[in-house]
Amino acid sequence: MILLDGKKTSEAIQREIAAEVADIKAKGGKVPHLAAILVGHDGGSMTYVNNKVLACENVGFESTLLHYEDDITEEELLNKIREINQDDTIDGLIVQLPLPRHISSTRVLEVLDYKKDVDGFHPLNVGHMVAGLPAYLPATPYGILQLLERYNIETKGKHCVVVGRSNIVGTPISILMSKCTYPGESTVTICHRNTVDLAHHTRQADILIVAVGKPGLITADMVKEGAVVIDVGTTRVEDATRARGWRLRGDVDFDHVAPKCSYITPVPGGVGPLTIAMLLKNTLRAAKKEVH
Ligand code: GUN
């Protein structure tokens, strides 16, 4: 069994990006600039956004964090986004989700300039991705593709079973794994909460990608011998032995599943660290006008 080391892979990608930024700076070019919008004080969201801003600094990007109280109106937020759309010094803009209930994330994502949508959530980027046209790929699916590629995992003709159909992970990775580019060329099955006999499907998987958010959902009897298992779940569970009182758990029962696998991602340290690296990659591509 080979552990897919997301931390090491993420660090390698960030080193490559930092080297490219140093080169841009040496040539007097434009340094990539990411703006991040955070609304409210959700602990998880604040940590994620702070980590994204910190990662920008580490690779030499400029970054701007715009933090609003959760009573900001939808119109005020939309106007702020319209302002950033017009600001040529900013290459990429992300709005951390989820947003408070009185703000429509659909409207927010539609108002955002798709050329700055480095999260890849704008309907135009989703459409481009589905059509196989140049697009910003959402960070988590993009990170999964990077892991498969950098570990030279064969995907052509394989049966890839995806559990979960979210717009952020399950749906886009299903599409990408079926595309006629590497990593891809797989036969894809999508499972979700209404799938009858989930184990029947997961046992067919050469590549099993799980993005549900239910700790321990995938047990050893649900996995084929020799499968590649990608665990996207990151649920905080109480753990009194940790100073902060919690730890992260994946959707896969790692201890029992790992011995059956050819490759598996740990949680933490698997897919998670790659999401930031791929956001930086998209921001670099935005600054270089590589996509649109
Ligand atoms: N919330 C959960 N994942 C993400 C992400 O990748 N980007 C943003 N903006 N919000 C999220």
Tens digits of residue pLDDT in 105-136: 999 999 999 999 999 999 999 999 999 999 99
pLDDT digits (tens, 9 = 90+) for 260-280: 999 999 999 999 999 999 999
What is the pLDDT, as a whole number, of residue 160? 99
pLDDT digits (tens, 9 = 90+) for 207-237: 999 999 999 999 999 999 999 999 999 999 9
Q: Which ranges in the chain are annotated with CATH 3.40.50.720?
A: 139-273
Catalytic residues: 52, 96, 119
- Are the C-beta atoms of 37 and 100 separated by less than 8 Å? no
CATH number listed for the domain at residues 27-121: 3.40.50.10860
Q: How far is CA 38 from CA 94, 95, 140, 272, in A?
A: 9, 6, 19, 20
ipTM over 0.90: yes
Ligand 1 atom showing the smallest separation from residue 275 Cα: 6
Which amino acids bring their CB within 6 angstroms of ligand 1? 94-97, 119, 139, 168, 275
pLDDT digits (tens, 9 = 90+) for 235-254: 999 999 999 999 999 999 99
- Write the residue with the smallest CA distance to atom 8 of ligand 1: 96
pLDDT digits (tens, 9 = 90+) for 141-172: 999 999 999 999 999 999 999 999 999 999 99
Residue whose CB lies within 8 A of the most ligand 1 atoms, among 97, 108, 137, 274, for a mutation test: 97
Separation of CA 276 and ligand 1 centre (Å) = 10
What is the pLDDT, as a whole number, of residue 44? 87
Ligand 1 atom showing the smallest separation from residue 97 Cα: 10
165 annotated to bind ligand = yes
Residue whose CB lies within 8 A of the most ligand 1 atoms, among 118, 119, 137, 275, for a mutation test: 119
166 annotated to bind ligand = yes
The per-residue DSSP string of 59-95 comes to HT-EEEEEEE-TT--HHHHHHHHHHHHH-TT--EEEE
Single pTM value for the model: 0.96
Dihedral over Cα of 251, 255, 259, 264: its sign: positive
What is the pLDDT, as a whole number, of residue 141? 98
Separation of CA 35 and ligand 1 centre (Å) = 14
Between CA 258 and CA 276 the distance in angstroms is: 25
What is the pLDDT, as a whole number, of residue 178? 98
Separation of CA 97 and ligand 1 centre (Å) = 5
pLDDT above 70 coverage of the chain, percent: 100
Ligand 1 atom showing the smallest separation from residue 138 Cα: 6
Burial of 46 (0-12, 13-18, 19+ CB in 10 A): middle
Ligand 1 atom showing the smallest separation from residue 279 Cα: 6
Q: Which CATH architecture has domain 139-273?
A: 3-Layer(aba) Sandwich (3.40)
Q: Which ranges in the chain are annotated with CATH 3.40.50.10860?
A: 27-121
